[in-house]
Amino acid sequence: DIQMTQSPSSLSASVGDRVTITCQASQDISNFLNWYQQKPGKAPKLLIYDASYLEAGVPSRFSGSGSGTDFTFTISSLQPEDIATYYCQQYDNLPSFGQGTRLEIK
């Protein structure tokens, strides 16, 4: 099984800050990596697919990069509505998720 390790597990930042979350796979997964946003009490939402492609309708302040085992998710300028938990997910083999990063406003 492929293990996905996200860091940090929680993060506090101010409005307008640049926020970065990392995700490391236990083996090479090429670019088979997606990022999701989950707000409290809601279903997850796909933001980034194939490591770096922005899902339709998602604001351009969200971006992703990486390949192989190391991936990065970035919010270029944090907005209040971005408060959520973010998950990476690989699909090289059977799908698996990272443990999540809880993002809070400072």
Partner 1 sequence: EVQLVESGGGLVQPGGSLRLSCAASGFTFSSYAMTWVRQAPGKGLEWVSGISGSGDSTNYADSVKGRFTISRDNSKNTLYLQMNSLRAEDTAVYYCAKDRVILANAWFESWGQGALVTVSS
22 makes contact with partner 1 (CB under 8 A):
no
Q: Can you point out the beta strands (E) in the chain?
A: 4-7, 10-13, 19-25, 33-38, 45-49, 53-54, 62-67, 70-75, 84-90, 96-97, 101-105
For residues 50-69, which are near partner 1 according to CB under 8 A? 55
Tell me whether residue 8 or residue 95 sits nearer to partner 1 (CB atom).
95
Residues that contact partner 1, how many (by CB under 8 A): 22
Question: How far from chain centre, in Å, is Cα 18?
Answer: 14
Among 18, 26, 39, 46, contact with partner 1 (rule: CB under 8 A):
46
37 makes contact with partner 1 (CB under 8 A):
no
Q: Which tokens in the block code for residue 82? A: 């971005």
Task: Catalog residues that contact partner 1 under the rule CB under 8 A.
Answer: 1, 32, 34, 36, 38, 43-46, 49, 55, 85, 87, 89, 91, 94-100
